[in-house]
């Protein structure tokens, strides 16, 4: 049986997953590992974990799955809306935060309102499911009780009214947070700048993914295993990306970056707490 040959000194192994993750600054193609900084045998054991190929999957998801709806939004315009330009979705505001010079105080207030809406939405969604199930049970009867059906319909419609009330209230609060100049910039973005904004978000996410990769590599080079941090990030980042939740996905990258030693100081790195 022929003996397998080891790669020449200084030449990285083809199987090293980090080689496949060397993205360029635009995230468009792998970048070969520098031969002047070979990975030692001990370090290879730490680096070659199942999570590193997942980082490449996360990068591809961020560049394709997550951002394609942003470009499509410019092409598939909906019919004229009587409220067009009156309100600004929170996701759009946060994605455009650099372009509209959103202050940290505004961001904190916006995120707090989004969390309040999310909690309320979860409660109302569960309530709506219960009332809808009750309605479905009523209409399955052989003979229908008109008064009972209409009374249950009122309950369903009341929950739907509460949902709309919650979300319109959020949009009103967001508009009141913004200055007239910020609102004018957002209207310009909404009319024709979604694709450009999507490109800016793509670059921002690509840069942060590269920073995560570099921080994990540096941590491994120092003799620590970054696997737990990367696994926790993948478990949260991937579902958010697939759901198109840009802001939440970016927040998970920020959370992961904060877990590495250079961000926290020397010492052991604890895994990210449950979300």
What is the set of domains in the chain, with CATH numbers? Answer: 17-33+40-67+196-264 (no CATH), 101-177 (1.20.120.1490)
Going by pLDDT thresholds of 50, 70 and 90, the confidence category of residue 73 is very low
In eight-state DSSP terms, residue 30 is B
Burial (0-12, 13-18, 19+ Cβ within 10 Å), 43:
middle
* Inter-residue contact 163 to 128 (CB < 8 Å): yes
Mean pLDDT of 245-266: 74
pLDDT for the residue numbered 150: 96
Q: What is the mean pLDDT of the chain?
A: 74
More confident residue, 200 or 272: 200
Q: Following DSSP, what letter does each residue of 214-267 receive, concatenated?
A: HHHHHHHHTT---HHHHHHHHHHHHHHHHTT-HHHHHHHHHHHHTTSHHHH-SS
Position 27 scores a pLDDT of: 42
> Which residue has tokens 């009330």?
165
User: Tokens representing 44?
Assistant: 């290879």
**Buried (b) or exposed (e) across 247-261, using 16+ Cβ within 10 A?**
bbbbbbbebbbebbb
- Summarize the confidence of residues 23-28 as an average pLDDT: 42
pLDDT at 253 over 90: no
Phi, psi of 23 (to 5 degrees): -75, 150
Segment 62-82 shows an average pLDDT of 53
Q: Which of 65-69, 115-119, 188-192, 205-209 is most confident?
A: 115-119
pTM for this one?
0.54
For residue range 186-201, list pLDDT tens digits in order. Answer: 988 887 767 777 777 7
User: CA 215, CA 94: separation in Å to the nearest integer?
Assistant: 25
Each residue of 194-232: b (16+ CB within 10 Å) or e? Answer: beebbeebbebbbebbbbbbebbbebbeeebebbebbeb
Mean pLDDT lowest among 12-21, 54-63, 228-237: 12-21
Q: What is the pLDDT of residue 153?
A: 96
Rounded Cα distance between 274 and 214, Å, is 24
Predicted confidence (pLDDT) at residue 181 exceeds the cutoff of 90: yes
Cβ(150)–Cβ(69) below 8 Å: no
Angstrom CA distances, 94 to 41, 101, 112, 230, stand at 44, 10, 13, 25
Which pLDDT tens digit goes with each residue over 129-178? 999 999 999 999 999 999 999 999 999 999 999 999 999 999 999 999 99
Residue 60: predicted pLDDT: 52
Of the candidate ranges 4-8, 18-22, 211-215, the one whose mean pLDDT is the lowest: 18-22
pLDDT for the residue numbered 175: 96
Task: Judge whether residue 268 has pLDDT over 60.
Answer: no
pLDDT at 267: 42
CA distance 226 to 212: 10
What does the pLDDT look like over 103-139, one tens digit per residue? 999 999 999 999 999 999 999 999 999 999 999 999 9
- When pLDDT is averaged across residues 77-97 and rounded to a whole number, the result is 78
| Confidence check: pLDDT of 274 > 70 | no
Residue 35 · residue 11 · CB < 8 Å: yes
Provide the strand spans (E) within 39-120.
Answer: none
Q: Residue 186: enclosing H or E segment and its boundaries?
A: helix 180-192
């Amino acid at each position: 049986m022929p003996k397998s040959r080891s790669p020449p000194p200084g030449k990285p192994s083809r199987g090293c997953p980090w080689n496949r993750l060397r993205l360029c600054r635009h995230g468009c193609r792998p970048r070969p590992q520098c031969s002047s900084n070979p990975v030692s045998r001990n370090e290879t054991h730490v680096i070659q974990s199942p999570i590193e190929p997942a980082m490449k999957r996360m990068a591809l998801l961020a560049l394709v799955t997550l951002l394609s709806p942003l470009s499509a939004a410019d092409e598939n315009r909906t019919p004229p809306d009587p409220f067009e330009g009156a309100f600004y979705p929170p996701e759009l505001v946060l994605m455009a935060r650099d372009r509209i010079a959103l202050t940290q105080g505004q961001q904190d207030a916006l995120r707090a309102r989004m969390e309040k809406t999310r909690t309320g939405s979860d409660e109302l969604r569960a309530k709506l499911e219960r009332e809808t199930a009750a309605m479905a049970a009523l209409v399955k009867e052989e003979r229908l009780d008109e008064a009972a059906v209409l009374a249950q319909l009122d309950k369903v419609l009341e929950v739907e009214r509460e949902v709309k009330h919650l979300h319109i209230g959020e949009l009103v609060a967001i508009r009141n947070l913004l200055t007239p100049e910020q609102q004018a910039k957002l209207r310009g973005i909404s009319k024709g700048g979604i694709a450009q904004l999507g490109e800016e978000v793509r670059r921002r996410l690509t840069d942060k993914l590269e920073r995560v990769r570099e921080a994990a590599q540096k941590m491994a080079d120092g003799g620590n295993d970054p696997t737990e941090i990367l696994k926790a990030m993948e478990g949260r980042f991937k579902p958010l990306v697939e759901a198109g939740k840009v802001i939440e996905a970016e927040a998970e990258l920020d959370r992961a970056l904060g877990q590495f030693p250079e961000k926290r100081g020397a010492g052991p790195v604890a895994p990210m707490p449950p979300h």
